[in-house]
Every structure is written in structure tokens, then in C-alpha cells.
Amino acid sequence: MKQRLWQIFGPVLCAVLLVAGLLLAPLPLGRLSHGALRSAAVSMSPNVLAGERAKQQALALDYVPFFGSSELSRLDPFHPSALAAKYHRNYRPFLVGAAGTQSLTHFLSDQSMLTQLAHKKAVFIVSMQWFTKRGQNPQAFTFFYSPLQTITWLLQARNTVADRYAARRLLTMPACRDQQIKSALLTVAGGQPLSHLSRQLLTARLQMLRNEDGLFSRFAVTPNERRLARAEKLLPATATPAQLEALATAVGRANTRTNTLGIDDQFYRARLAGGRLAKLKGSQRHYDYRFGPEYSDFQLLLTQFARHDIDVQFVIPPINAKWAAYTGLSMPKYRQAVTKLRTQLRTQGFTRVLDLSEDGDQPYFMQDTIHIGWRGWLRMDRTVAPFLAGPRQPVHYRLDDRYFTKSWRQATVGG
Amino acid sequence: MPNLQPYADPQYFLILLVALVPLMVGLYHGHRLRLWETVVSLAFIVLMFTGHKWGEGLALLAYVAWQFLLVLGYARYRRAHNGTATFVAAVCASIAPLAVVKVTPAVAGHPSLLGFLGISYLTFKSVQVLMELRDGALKQVSAVDFGRFLLFLPTLSSGPIDRYRRFVADIAGAPAQADYVAMLGRAVHYLFLGFLYKFILGYAFGTLMLPKVAQAALVHAGPLGLSWGLVGYMYVYSMYLFFDFAGYSLFAVAISLVMGVDTPMNFKRPFAAGNIKEFWNRWHMTLSFWFRDFVFMRTTFFIMKHKLIRNRVRVSQVAYLINFLVMGFWHGVTWYYIVYGLFHAVAIIINDYWLRFKKKHRQQLPHNRWTQALAIFITFNVVCFSFLIFSGFLDKLWFCPPHR
């Protein structure tokens, strides 16, 4: 009878041991190939953003993170990734962001690369469209949510205003419903240290998630990579800034023939043509980017950058002026929002801010409604390329916790 | 307080099986540790209803008290009397909470406060005991055994639906050692087959593929919502439904076996059925047998006894219609569940005509492995189409299409 029991449970025992070994052992997963890193750098997919292996290995090389959101996917010939590859710059952009990523998603997906990024440089494109009354869209947060990054953060969270705020914010997201993570978040939000047992369990879970990330994240050639390769071909082997400007104007003109708003033809056909545009007239009359949780969520990012001594070039892209006028967006309110954000940056010593918010009326600057393209990318490149080419300068950040307060989130700044 | 939903993730199995180890050791040595079994069962039932589900937990308590009152009361009454009105009243009272739970969303637009996970399956068990008491097949019901039957942990949330007399015979003692070891062998086999079904195949069909075909069907909807995407949805959903529920049922049977109870199986290769009648002998078997015994047969006897219809063929047709309509309403008071029930009733009636025709013309009709394959193919597609109705996707496609 004993033998029969072994016959039944022996294989189960072996299976359990194998699975536990596979998930819990610190597996030597080796390095990703350069090709795989190149794919990951432009894929903007959730497995790259939520994972850690690709990001960590890329940052150890000459990749520089370009944080942003939907504008990163405007892969025309003047996109930072195309320019860097074609003209053999000393850096390669690693695109971190996609439609739906906002400060809170960035805050989490940063976690596993902060150590690599310490004392280095980064570029951050911050969209005013993030700063809605509601802030981070919970569904998008769920889409990009990463337990791996959350646990990485939890294990080094301290009893600070920033960490308590972050824990409280994460608790409002439906994605953080997992018992283990939720109770750890509650502990941090309450300003208490995690118990020894809880740390141990989180560490084991982290190892499991790391192995999953390493074993199951595959970085195949994406359509993005093919689009970029096609875009690069349109660029001349060498070009002066003036020649590039002329080319961007020509490409922009060739791609905006079907409408008077200066919107890319493909985008127009897919999203606005066939009577849909008329419905959007005046649709943004009540949009207001001046208040909301995003200002404090953004402060979490500033806190991270300061703590890890990262020199960040911020870029505030504009809104297509014709589009803004058509949809009735209030420019005075928009300007106040930009001023508020710039105040938050300036007062804390974040001085590298390229504010393009007034350039929405320049021809071929925007690729569509709110996304920078062609000449806009070139304008950004004029600031970003020298910043990344030059030696690293010391930074002097002075963090101010009042940006985590409700009174700041609701404050009106500027006339 | 943590919350544990039955069979939701691998941790659940680990925790449950560790908790059951003393019971297993006992059964192996020929003893059933009743107290331990009760404590573990109650603990896991409480953990199903913690947190925001506490309301459901209260509903369960009230429900169980109500069913105890009815079943034990009726058993006592039945010792000396056998009034039809009392019996009908008892059955109606037993079904009443389930009826309220099913009708409330259709009428009030929100779920009923009386609802909890598993209410249907508890009602099937309770009604079955009432019916068997009425028939005299069951002479007495002990409160303890009825409680163990009603709240048997492995099958609490979604079946399979066991029978009282069979169950009580199992829990009266412990199986012989060799039998129990054989049961454990089956349990391990079912458990791992269930993992394959629910967590791999069910996940692949339901989580990976279903949203994609749903999107394709919504975007490319032609006249009447028809599209290749919709055809894809029909098959993918059918596969998902089978692997998800068959996987769950395998878990329930496996855990029952570990606890020394031979709960009946729910599926027997349903897509290999050669006609719709055979399909119902292979698909969600404990439910369809319950309906056969307590709805179909009773309706048939009632019609024949009262000579409502003389033609025997008509009798079974009417009984099929009633049987599947009740099943449709049980799934939920929405047009697509009811149409699903009617569809199967019509399918089975047509199938009966065909079988009679085949019997008459046995000489002329070929019968070989190709005709059998054709029969399986037709049955499979009819069933998949019925699952497309069942899925409610047509409701979304036709009556509330998303904003494009």
C-alpha cells in the first residue's frame, strides 16, 4: 500500500519541487541580445514597461529613458529614436510610456531602473492631458500594472510624506487588490515598517515575479521597429539642421493634405473623417487641467529623480492650436495649468524645462491633435541632443512636501 | 480577514489540501475525523464570505436556516401524512429564495440581497430531498446529515449535484484502505486534468482568445451582426465554457474524493455526442439528470396521470419544452437564457422525430463511421450555436453595441 501511495504522490511531489525551483531559485537568465534590447527600446508594450530585465540591461549600455505617453508612438523620421539611430548619436532612446501612462504608472515602472539610472540623465515628456480632475485612469493603470515593480518599491519604502502618499494613491487603484500587496500598502500608508515575515514573503514573491519576467518576456521584432526602419530611410545620411527643417516641412505637408487642421491624414481618416469631426466641435470647452491628483503624483516622480540624483530634461509639448480652437479648449486655463506645473518644477530646482506649450500654431509642429511630430520632434532634438551629448552636470534639487498637499492640488497659479 | 474563493488560484489548493491532511490520514487508517472535517469545512465556508462578501454570508445563514426548517418540518409531517398541497407548498417555499434571486435583477435591475455564491446548487439538493420524502424513497432525514449534505465544501459553489442517499452512504464511515488509495489516485488525476482544463486551456480560450474574437465580431459586424468574428466567438466561447466548467467540476470531484466522498462526475466527453439527447447525457450530467428526474419525469407522469394529453409522443414533447424552459429560467431571467432553453427543447424534439424516422427506415439509411462522424459534427455545431445564444454576446451585439 505504501508503494501505491508513492506511485500516486511521487510524481506530484516532483512536479511541486520542479515548479518551486523554477520560480523561486535565482535563475541565471543571461543577457538579452542587442537585437532584443533594440526591440524592447521601441516596443512600448506592457511587458517591457512592467518588467525589469530589458530596462535594466538597456540602461547599463548607452540607452537613455525617454519617458512619455502616446506621443512616443508617433514614429515619423524625426522621432528621437530615428534621429539617434540614423546619426549615430552617443545615446539610444529607451521609450518608456504609451497611451494611458501617466505619473502614477511611471512612478511604478521606474522602480526597477532607478538604481541603474542614478547619477545619469533622462528625458521626460509631460503631457498636460494627464492633469485631469481624476488623474490616472484606473483602467490604463491596470493595463500597465506591475506587481514586480510595486513590490520593489514596497521593500524600500520609508515613513516619508512621499511614500505614505504613494501607498494611499496605489490603494485607490483597482489593480492593487491582491491581499499581500494591499496589506503591505496599508502598512506603508499608515507610516509603519513592514514586519519581518511580510518582507520575507514579499521577497520570495519578488523572486518569483523576476523569474516569470525573465522566462516569459520575449522581445520579438515589433511593428514599431519596422516602422522606424522605414522612417530612417527617409533621412539623408548627413544633413544640416536647416536641411532637416526643410525636410520635416515637406514630409509634414505631404501627410496633411486631407484636412485644414494640420492633422496627419491617416489619423484623420481613422479617427475624425466621416462626420466624426463635426461632433467634436466645442467638445473640450469644459476641459480643465489645473487641478487634481496628477500634480501630487507627478511630485512622486520628482522625488524619485531627486533621491537618485538624476538629471532630467523635461519637455512640455503643445496642443495643436487649430484643434484647440475647434474644440473650444480654454487657452487661459491651459496656460494656468502649464504655469502651475512649471512652478512646481522651478521651485524645486528642476531647471531643464523645454516649454513648447505656446508652439501649437507652428506649421507641421504637431502630428495630429495633441501629439508632437515632424518639426516638433526636431525642436525637441535641438535641446535634447546637446543635453545628452554633453558631460553630466551637478544638480541641486530642493524637494518640497507641500506639493503632496490637497491645497496645492487645488491651487490656482498665475493670471 | 483574508478571502478565499473556491478553486480560484493555486494557493487555494495548497491551503485546502494542507488543512485536509489530518482527515486524509484518518481515512487512510479507516477513521473519518468528523469534527476535523466540520471545522475545516466551516472555516473555508466563512473565508468564502469575508470582506465585502459578508452580506452574502448572512444570506447563506438565513437560507440554510430556512431550508432546515422546511426539510425537517416536511420530513416530520410526512411520517403521518401525505397531502399534495403541503408537498407543493414545501417545494415552492424551498425554491422561493432562488426564484427571488433570479427574478430580482430582471425586475429591479440590481442583484437580490438574498443571493450568495452557490444558492442554485443548494436549492437543487434541498428540493431533491423534499421530492424523495414525498415519494417515500427517503423515510427520514437527520439534521446533521442534511447539514453535511447541503454544505459539503467541495461542491458548495457550483456542484456537481450529488444525491442525498448516495452521499449519506459515503459519509457514514470510511472506505476500505485499498478503495481510499484508489480514490486518492483518481483525485490526483482529476486535479491535474482540472489544472490543464481550467488554468491552461480555459485561460487560453477565455482570457487570451475570447476578447480578440469579441472585438473582431463587434468591429466587423455585418447585417444582423454576422461576421467571421462572430463564428470565431461561437467556437472559442464554447471551448472556454467547457474547459472552464469541466475543469472546475474536476476540482470539486477531486477534493470530494480526498474527503472520501465519491461525488458523481459532471462531464463525459460531451463533444463526442452523436445527437442532442446523448449530449445531455454527457454535458453537466448531474444537472441534466436532476432535471430529468425531478422536472421531465414528474411532468410526464403528471400529464399521463391526469390524461391531459393522450398521444405519448406529444407528452414527451411538452415535457421537454417545460423541462428546458425551466432550465432556461434557472440560468437567469434574460431573453437569451430562455431562448437557449427553447432552442434545446426544439433540438431534442426534432432529434426525436429523426430517431423515429430512422427506426422506420432502418433498411434504407446507411449507418457507418462516416454517418457517425457527420452526426457528431452536426451535434457539435448545434451545441456551439446554442452556447453562442447562451453567452449573451448576441444581446451585446444586437441591442447595446458599444460606441465606435
Res. B161: pLDDT tops 90: yes
Residue A406 class from Cβ within 10 Å (0-12 exposed, 13-18 middle, 19+ buried)? exposed
Instruction: Return phi, psi of residue A2, to 5°.
Output: -55, -45
| Cα gap B31→A71, rounded to integer Å | 69
- Catalogue the E-assigned strands of A25-155: 63-67, 92-96, 121-125
**Which DSSP symbol is given to B235?**
H
Is the domain of B100 the same as that of B124? Answer: yes
**Residue B32 in domain:** yes
Is the domain of B117 the same as that of B30? Answer: yes
Overall number of domains in chain A: 1
| Pick from A198, A158, A204: nearest CA to A180 | A198
Q: Which residue of B has its CA nearest to A11?
A: B188
Is the domain of B144 the same as that of B216? Answer: no
Q: Inform me whether the C-beta atom of residue B2 falls under 8 Å from chain A C-beta atoms.
A: yes
| Cα gap A413→A291, rounded to integer Å | 10
Are the Cβ atoms of A1 and B184 closer than 8 angstroms? Answer: no
Is the domain of B140 the same as that of B278? Answer: no
Among B174, B207, B238, residue at a domain's last position: B174
Question: Averaged over B169-190, what is the pLDDT?
Answer: 96
**Residue B43 in domain:** yes
Among B174, B204, B230, residue at a domain's last position: B174
Q: What is the pLDDT of residue B247?
A: 96
Chunked mean pLDDT (size 10), chain A, 415 residues: 91 90 80 88 87 89 94 93 94 93 93 92 96 91 91 95 96 88 95 94 92 76 86 92 94 92 90 86 93 96 96 96 94 96 96 96 94 95 96 95 95 82
| Cα gap A370→A320, rounded to integer Å | 6
Q: What is the pLDDT of residue A35?
A: 87
Q: Inform me whether the C-beta atom of residue A9 falls under 8 Å from chain B C-beta atoms.
A: yes
**Residue B208 in domain:** yes
Q: What is the ipTM of this complex?
A: 0.80
Mutate to test the interface with A, among B4, B180, B188, B208 (most CBs of A within 10 A): B188
Is the domain of B203 the same as that of B292? Answer: yes
Contacts of A5 in chain B (CB under 8 A): 181, 184
Res. B303: pLDDT tops 60: yes
Q: What is the pLDDT of residue A128?
A: 95
Q: Inform me whether the C-beta atom of residue B25 falls under 8 Å from chain A C-beta atoms.
A: no
Query: Cβ distance B13 to B191 under 8 Å?
Result: yes
State the residue range of the domain holding A136.
29-406
Q: What is the pLDDT of residue B404?
A: 40
**Residue A14 in domain:** no
Phi-psi bin for A322: left (phi > 0), alpha (psi -120 to 50), beta?
alpha
**Residue B2 in domain:** no
Mutate to test the interface with B, among A5, A6, A8 (most CBs of B within 10 A): A8
3-state secondary structure of B363: coil
| Cα gap A346→A235, rounded to integer Å | 36
Q: Which residue of B has its CA nearest to A1?
A: B178
| Cα gap B253→B256, rounded to integer Å | 5
Q: Inform me whether the C-beta atom of residue A279 falls under 8 Å from chain B C-beta atoms.
A: no
Residue A201, min C-alpha distance to chain B (Å): 14
Q: What is the pLDDT of residue A369?
A: 92
**Residue A110 in domain:** yes
**Residue A287 in domain:** yes
**Residue A269 in domain:** yes
Dihedral in degrees, nearest 10, Cα atoms A85, A88, A92, A95: -30
**Residue B1 in domain:** no
State the residue range of the domain holding B319.
182-399
Query: Cβ distance B275 to B174 under 8 Å?
Result: no
| Pick from A325, A414, A330, A319: nearest CA to A359 | A319
| Pick from A54, A50, A26: nearest CA to A204 | A26
Are the Cβ atoms of B181 and A5 closer than 8 angstroms? Answer: yes
Is the domain of B108 the same as that of B249? Answer: no
Q: Hey, which residues does A366 pair with through a beta bridge?
A: A372
Helices (H), B281-391: 285-291, 297-305, 312-331, 335-360, 369-391
Are the Cβ atoms of B181 and A9 closer than 8 angstroms? Answer: no
Is the domain of B340 the same as that of B191? Answer: yes
Tens of pLDDT along B104-123? 998 888 889 999 999 999 99
| Cα gap A406→B281, rounded to integer Å | 64
Is the domain of B153 the same as that of B280? Answer: no
Is the domain of B164 the same as that of B187? Answer: no
Are the Cβ atoms of A4 and B2 closer than 8 angstroms? Answer: no
Query: Cβ distance A191 to A159 under 8 Å?
Result: yes
Side-chain-side CA neighbours of residue B303 (13 Å): 18
Residue among A1, A12, A179 minimizing CB distance to B181? A1
Q: Inform me whether the C-beta atom of residue A238 falls under 8 Å from chain B C-beta atoms.
A: no
Res. B178: pLDDT tops 50: yes
Q: Which residue of A has its CA nearest to B183?
A: A8
Residue among B2, B181, B192 minimizing CB distance to A4? B181
Res. B403: pLDDT tops 50: no
**Residue B226 in domain:** yes
Query: Cβ distance B308 to B333 under 8 Å?
Result: no
Res. B203: pLDDT tops 50: yes
**Residue A22 in domain:** no
Q: Is B331 a catalytic residue?
A: yes
Is the domain of B169 the same as that of B188? Answer: no
| Pick from B251, B29, B33, B180: nearest CA to A4 | B180
**Residue A11 in domain:** no
Counting other chains too, the contacts that B9-18 makes at CB distance below 8 Å and 24 or more residues apart are B10/B199, B13/B191, B13/B251, B16/B44, B16/B255, B17/B258
Q: Inform me whether the C-beta atom of residue B178 falls under 8 Å from chain A C-beta atoms.
A: yes
Residue A219, min C-alpha distance to chain B (Å): 18
Q: Hey, which residues does A353 pair with through a beta bridge?
A: A314
Contacts of B178 in chain A (CB under 8 A): 1
Q: Are strands A353-355 and A63-67 parallel, antiparallel or unpaired?
A: unpaired
Side-chain-side CA neighbours of residue B91 (13 Å): 16
**Residue A196 in domain:** yes
Q: Which of B331, B361, B367, B403 is catalytic?
A: B331
In chain A, how long is the greatest CA-to-CA distance?
87
| Cα gap B112→B102, rounded to integer Å | 8
**Residue B4 in domain:** no
**Residue A103 in domain:** yes
Contacts of B185 in chain A (CB under 8 A): 4, 7-8
The mean pLDDT of chain A is 92
Is the domain of B199 the same as that of B344? Answer: yes
Percent of chain B with pLDDT over 70: 99
Is the domain of B115 the same as that of B231? Answer: no
| Cα gap B11→B22, rounded to integer Å | 19
Contacts of B2 in chain A (CB under 8 A): 179
Q: Hey, which residues does A372 pair with through a beta bridge?
A: A366
**Residue B88 in domain:** yes
At CA B321, angle to CA B120 and CA B132, rounded to 5?
50
Query: Cβ distance A198 to A184 under 8 Å?
Result: yes
Overall number of domains in chain B: 2
The mean pLDDT of chain B is 94
Q: Inform me whether the C-beta atom of residue A6 falls under 8 Å from chain B C-beta atoms.
A: no
